[in-house]
Chains A and B, each alone.
Chain A
Amino acid sequence: MHENENQAIKQEHTGFPWKQVVGLILSLGLTFLALWVAIGLSLPVNVTLTIIVALAIFQAFIQLFMFMHVTEGTEPVHQIIGILFGIYVAFAVVAGSIWILAHVF
């Protein structure tokens, strides 16, 4: 695991920035795909929302791994757990608020 990471870091010292370019192409591709799903297709609203949110989550992970190097560092487990806990709480506040407030107006 560590060796792989260190090799990955070393490889970056030379050659074409594949990781970054692939990251960019994927982000742009996913963005246009989401746009097409939302505007181009006329699926039922719930299906559309599910697909575009899933695409957004996928794209966020691309940023996290390909640009932000979340698995890098002396003890990456700390930031990984931190980000996961952040995702948990952010999900709780978004889903909880929508669920609670959908019916009380």
Chain B
Amino acid sequence: MAESILSLDSKDKKNMPLEYTTEEGDLRIVGFWIFLAAELVLFGTLFASYLVMQSHTAGGPTARDLFKINPVMAETIILLVSSFTCGLGTLELRRHNTKGLIAWLVVTVILGFAFIGLEANEFYSYAVHEGAPISRSAFLSGFFILLGTHGAHVSLGIVWVTSIIIQLAQRGITAVTARKAFMVGLYWHFLDVVWIFIFTAVYLTGLVI
């Protein structure tokens, strides 16, 4: 049957990483993947709205007027590196090294804060200094909401990673904390994927068109 093509027998389960060893962990990881798939559509809809609105500047500032490449590259590099440090955290998780995992998660959170700080600064300068707040044009509505939704996800991710750092410090790596740490890693990488498309479809495209 189709569903067993890639499945493992239960005897293989003991060879699996810790987070897959309980039924609960296994279910939640699949459920979270499905949630991320739904998030693809959520961001897809926001991208669709933004792209439709891209040229509707209503006489206000255009993408080319607003976007500056240096802060955007800084944000991008910080987020890409944070995805890398988060990946190293998952690696330490697999090595059952609690301290290493916590250390990389702390680095990830710090990079997350740096990203949010830069993005907030960018929003602030557009809205206040450049005369380009959300209510100026349809283009800016689409821009702020697409990027704001991503930023809100990153902020929630910071809260979530912090809560998991606390739980890891309290309990060490168990089947449950391993599952949580793995899931938050998936979430963080996913936000990086979304950013890659924001970088391409919003910033680079805005500078080209």
Contacts and interface: CB of A to CB of B under 8 A. Distances in A.
Q: Do chains A and B touch in the complex (CB under 8 A)?
A: yes
Interface range for B: 35 or more
B131 interface: no
Given A23-B84, A23-B87, A31 B199 contact: yes
A82 to B, nearest CB: 4
Interface in A61-105: 63-64, 66-68, 70-80, 82-83, 85-87, 89-91, 93-94, 96-98, 101
Given A49-B208, A67-B90, A83-B40, 9 more contacts: A23-B84, A31-B77, A52-B208, A67-B86, A73-B30, A83-B33, A90-B47, A93-B41, A93-B48
B17 to A, nearest CB: 6
Given A17-B91, A38-B204, A90 B84 contact: no
Contact of B6 (A23, A35, A75, A91): A75
A100 B62 CA distance: 23
A66 B69 CA distance: 27
A66 B12 CA distance: 23
A56 B208 contact: no
A56 B69 CA distance: 17
Contacts of A6: 12, 15-16
Given A56-B197, A60-B197, A89-B44, A9 B17 contact: yes
Among B12, B185, B199, B208, find the residue whose CB has the most chain A CB atoms closer than 10 A: B208
Given A49-B208, A75-B6, A94-B44, A63 B192 contact: yes
Contacts of B77: 28, 31
A74 B8 contact: yes
17 contacts: A1-B6, A13-B95, A28-B77, A31-B80, A49-B205, A63-B196, A64-B193, A66-B87, A68-B185, A68-B190, A73-B20, A73-B26, A74-B8, A85-B37, A86-B37, A93-B44, A97-B52
